[in-house]
Structure 1
Amino acid sequence: MMTADNHTVFYPVTYILTGIPGTEESHFWMAIPFCLMYVVTLFGNSLLLFIILTERSLHEPMYLFVSMLAAGDLLLSTTTVPKMLALFWFRAGEISFAACLTQMFFIHVSFLAESAILLAMAFDRYIAICDPLRYTIILTKSVIGKMGLAIVTRSFCFIFPLIFLVKQLKFCRTNLLPHTYCNYMVIARLACDDITVSLWYGVAMAILVIGSDIVLIAVSYGLILRAVFLLPSKEARLKALRTCGSHVGVILMFYIPSVFFYYAHLFGHIIPGYILILLANLYVLIPPMLNPIVYGVTTKEILKRVINVFHRWCRRSSLLS
């Protein structure tokens, strides 16, 4: 220990997650719907991955990108929800500093990776609709593999400096984290150091990475819409729009809450803290839960395979009984 500016400076061995302030008496009951949503998330995304990876006819670019998104959803929810449930049900709020940094790392890596996957999916739809004759030439399995590697590399390279910045901070206030998981800005605000560099790095990353992804996706869909409305028949236009509908829904579910949270943290004094934390919990639960449902219901090929899988399971269970 050492003192500076009349503050006790320390390097926390553990943090204590406090949950959602002001709702402690309701934690047990709040965890029940959270747990149910997590179970649906695990089942839906695992089933989606199983179907896409085992069905050769689905080894096409669009479905491979959907499987990447499902893997990202599983990583995001599994990184946060089990600890959240342990906190709510068993008051197990302690988390080591190393585990907290690891959780923070995977949360932010998942977020950046999913943003990049959505951009890759927009590019896929652009090629499929605007340049269909070269679709199989441009988006080969080798190219998709390189895109997947680039997505992981980009996410790691942008998030690793966050870990470095947090490890350099000195803490003098408390090791109590008013949250249900380790969030970068929540940890940084506990420091007694100047966190201007950390704040500006977060802003730069939001603008340069997430902002550029949003702009490129918007440009892709602008070109797609222009190409769609130039198609000669109404049926062709509707078919093209249907293939993009599920993707647009997933994009909106992903980006609208993230933009809201970014500005909510900038102007956090306007919105009560417990509302922000509750919404942050729902953000790591609802999109990962809904994504496989959206793709499963709106994509005929996936829906057909899901029905076939359940049909086979029902036949096996009836034979065993």
Structure 2
Amino acid sequence: MTRALPDSIDEMASLLGEADYVADRSLATILFLSLRMGRPIFLEGEAGVGKTEIAKVLAAALGRRLVRLQCYEGLDVSSAVYEWNYARQMLEIRLAEARDSSSAETDIFSERFLIKRPLLQALEPSAEGPAVLLIDELDRTDEPFEAFLLEVLADYQVTIPEIGTVTAEHPPIVVITSNRTREIHDALKRRCLYHWVDYPDTQRELEILRIKAPEAGERLSRQIVAFVQALREDRNLFKLPGVAETIDWTKALTQLDVLSLDPAAVDDTLGVLLKYQDDIAKVQGTEAAEILARVERELAAVG
């Protein structure tokens, strides 16, 4: 069931919480403003901090359909907006020739031969209301597509030469994410409200684990969060673990019936938390044991 947009920042935060997303007030504020002003929201941050999840949560919480455009190098209009079903068109032409009919020349460029890709799907009306359009990892595309996207977001319309212009009756809720592998042009950023999604602090990450991995005991969850937070302080790692990796590691440890972290459990499961061999080699063994000992001292100090 479609739900009305929140009327306050607190209501926005509650809406996210109902969908099991633990947001800080700054994120709840920018999302509230994005919805109320009808502006796209541009989310930047490291991989695994929950940017994509925000769009999924918005769709679920508001009862809207989620339309996802996963970006990649070489993404073009035929993959992002529409293309013609050439196989069906050729079949129609041959059938028309067999019937000795000339009507196929115009009929083949009708909507029934149109393959609708995510951007076009998001502009179409729906009984569920405007869609949530997730344009994921925009930084993976090239500049020409970025320029094309700027046109689409300007008027929420696309032109199909053979049919005409398709304009959204009600603009979709647009969430754009970037891992910042390259800078996105200011022209597109100016059209959006911006938010940097950072790694969560200790308390918020612990709350996330209580929701996403409730099977883990309180002691294990606190050890995991403290260990991961310590790793993030070490900027010598090639790729710092994100929230997604924290959740995966917790679930992996509970699958192994680990009730409390020890050096052996850490060494055996680092491949769930860290994704590069150089990082694993750097942490495994003595370094992991030292971090774990420090974590134990800190947890003992706070009781």
With the shorter chain as reference, the TM-score category is under 0.3
Higher helix share: 1
Of structures 1 and 2, the one with the larger relative CO (CA 8 A, separation 6+) is 1
Question: Which TM-score applies when normalising by structure 2?
Answer: 0.25
Q: TM-score, normalised by structure 1?
A: 0.24
Which of the two has higher C-alpha Rg? 2
